[in-house]
Structure formats: C-alpha cells, structure tokens
Amino acid sequence: MIITVIAPLLLQAAARQDPAPAADPARARYEAAAAQWRKAAAVDTAFQFHMEIPGEDGAEPQKLEGSFELRLARPLHGTLKMEQQGMSMSYLADGQKVYMVDVDAKSYTEVGDKLTDVPFVQDFIPLRVWSDPEATAPESVELVQDAARPGVDGLKFQAEDKTEILWVDERNDVVAATWVGSEERPAIEFSFSRWSTPEKVDLADFAAKLPEGYTVMEDGGGFDMEASLLAVGSAAPDARMTGMDGQALTIAGLRGKTVLLNFWFRH
C-alpha cells in the first residue's frame, strides 16, 4: 500500500519540475570549433589584414595592410612570416626555442620557449586554444550572422579591451576575423586565404633551423633611454628603415624630430 501511494506522488513531483535549461547555441558552436582546434597537431594558415587610421583635421585616413604566413606544429616547430608596408619580420621555432630572425641584419634573437611566445598566437583565440589546450574559454560568446557570408557562422567575443569576431565555416575553418578596440584603436579586418588544422603531420614538413652565419643578439644588460636618444643620428648615422608610407628614411634624418613608433604586433 505504501509503495502504491508513493509512486504516483513521485511521478507528480517529477512532472512539476522545471525543464532543463536549453543549451547555449553560441557556446555550443564555439566548443565544436575549439574541440577541433585543440586536437590539431599543427596549424597552417595564411591571411591578410587591413586597417584604417583616421586622419587628423579632415585628412584622408591612413591605410595599413600586411600579411601573415604561419606554419606551426606541436611541440615547438615551424615558422611565422609577417610583412607590412614593405617591412618584414620572421620567427622560427626549432623544437627547443623560439627566435626572431632579422634577415636584413643577418641576426636572430631568442624570445622564448613556448608556442605562445610566437607573435599573434596568444592574441588570436583559435591559435591560443590550439597552442594551449588548457586555455580558459572566453567568458562571453555570441552567435552572429552576416547575409554576405552564407554558410558561415560568426562567433563574437567581448573582452575588456576589444571585441573579436571570428567567422568559421561548417568545417570549423576560420575564413575571416575582425578586431574592434576603443575609439583610439581602429578596427582590424583579417581575411584568410588558407586555414588547415591537420590531426597528424610529419614534423619534417615543419622543421626550421637557424640560418648559418647569423649573429646571435643578446640582452645588453639594460636600456639607457637618454643615451639612446642622444645617439640618434650620431651612433648609427647609416641605419635605414622604411616608413609607414613605404618611403625609405635614415635614422640620421630623424635627429631633432619627434617620432611616433607604431608597434603593430607584440610577442
């Protein structure tokens, strides 16, 4: 008798319970893509970026464009090549360390011993997830759509310093991205021409060796700002570089002038 009374009561209680909350479609879409990035043995990608810096006093905005080619494999192999406005820079990982390579100066500098020491890897969510499977998931993710991109899902991530939107296709390949910062930081558009995340690779295809005959650049034991400024135009009068407008200039020609340095990547 007790059993026959309790059973209906349990059924009624179960019927009154609230239904389980529906899964967040944005979070589910992100996790599906992240799962594929995490299990990839390597990332082979090429992309271009474009940004416009607003002009002052009604002047035309300044356009900056560049390209990246990144081929990295776990645990620490591969290369990264960057080009912008006639300037170029390369990084390589030889299996033990990450180095910045200056082809023009025929020198290289050690910058770390982790994949995240390669520029852009730590900043870009898919690469950060791939390089560190234990990386914390973004706190905020929103699913967005764009009629101009049929068959592609947009994942919008909101952080304190920027908003990042990734556009991924049905294979979880990244096809485009947008970074939006503050008013002082213009938006950056990325367009991917190649994105590959194979689960198995031959490390020989990603092998990178330091070039022979290059000089090893080491920490000089400190940086004297005043001495460095006084040396401009005298200690290195023949040093040359390319300005953001693509024009060649010499350090000697900068003596006595105010110079704005635009660091467009970090490591």
Do the Cβ atoms of 67 and 83 come closer than 8 Å?
A: yes
Res 33: pLDDT: 96
Res 243: pLDDT: 62
Res 256: pLDDT: 54
Full-model pTM: 0.71
pLDDT in tens, 103-113: 888 899 999 99
Res 155: pLDDT: 97
pLDDT in tens, 188-237: 999 999 999 999 999 999 999 888 899 988 754 444 444 444 444 444 44
Domains annotated for the chain, with CATH where assigned, are 25-215 (2.50.20.10), 221-254 (no CATH)
Mean pLDDT confidence for 241-249: 62
pLDDT in tens, 116-137: 888 889 889 999 999 987 888 8
Q: If you average pLDDT over every residue of the chain, what do you get? A: 80
